[in-house]
Amino acid sequence: MHDLKNKRILVTGASRGIGQAIAIDLAKHGAKVAVLATRLANLEQTCAAIAAAGGESLPLEGDISQASTAQDSVKAVVDAWGGIDGLVANAGITKDNLLLRMTEEQFDQVIDVNLKGTFHFLKAVTKPMMKQRAGSIVFIGSVVAAIGNPGQANYCAAKAGLHGMARSAAIELGGRGITVNVVSPGFIATDMTSELPEAAQDAMKQKIALGRPGSGQDIAGAVRFLQSPDGSYITGQVMLVDGGLSLG
Q: How far is CA 4 from the centre of its chain?
A: 18
Instruction: Determine, following the binding rule CB under 6 A, whether residue 136 of this chain makes contact with ligand NAP.
Output: no
Q: Is residue 151 close enough to count as binding ligand NAP by CB under 6 A?
A: no
Per CB under 6 A, 243 contacts ligand NAP = no
Nearest one of 139, 103, 135, 102 to 119, comparing CA atoms = 139
The DSSP annotation for 114-177 comes to IIIHHHHHHHHHHHHHHHHT-EEEEEE--THHHH--TT-HHHHHHHHHHHHHHHHHHHHHGGGT
* Longest Cα–Cα distance in the chain: 51
Q: Which of 140, 182, 208, 238 binds ligand NAP (CB under 6 A)?
A: 140
Q: For ligand NAP, which residue of 31, 57, 59, 90 counts as binding (CB under 6 A)?
A: 90
Of 20, 18, 23, 21, nearest to 4 by C-alpha is 23
What is the Cα–Cα distance from 25 to 126, expressed in whole angstroms? 24
Q: Contact 22/88 with Cβ under 8 angstroms?
A: yes
**Considering the rule CB under 6 A, would residue 17 count as an interface residue with ligand NAP?**
yes
Cβ of residue 174: shortest distance to ligand NAP, in angstroms? 24
- Helices and strands in the chain: count of H runs, count of E runs: 10, 7
Query: Which residue in 93, 130, 157, 234 binds ligand NAP (CB under 6 A)?
Result: 93
For residue 177, the minimal CB distance to ligand NAP (Å) is 26
Per rule CB under 6 A, is residue 33 in the interface with ligand NAP?
A: no
105 binds ligand NAP (CB under 6 A): no
- Could you confirm whether 233 is annotated as catalytic? no
Q: Which amino acid is at 242?
A: D
**Contact characters 158-197, ligand NAP, x per CB under 6 A:** ---------------------------x-xx-xxxx----
Q: Quick check: 38 binds ligand NAP (CB under 6 A)? A: yes
Catalytic, out of 155, 170, 231, 243: 155
Q: For the CA atoms of 68, 8, 168, 21, what is the dihedral angle to 10 degrees?
A: -90
Identify which range of 15-23, 48-56, 100-108, 229-237 contacts ligand NAP by CB under 6 A: 15-23
Residues annotated as catalytic are 155
**Residue ranges that bind ligand NAP, judged by CB under 6 A:** 12-19, 37-39, 42, 63-65, 90-93, 113, 140, 142, 185, 187-188, 190-193
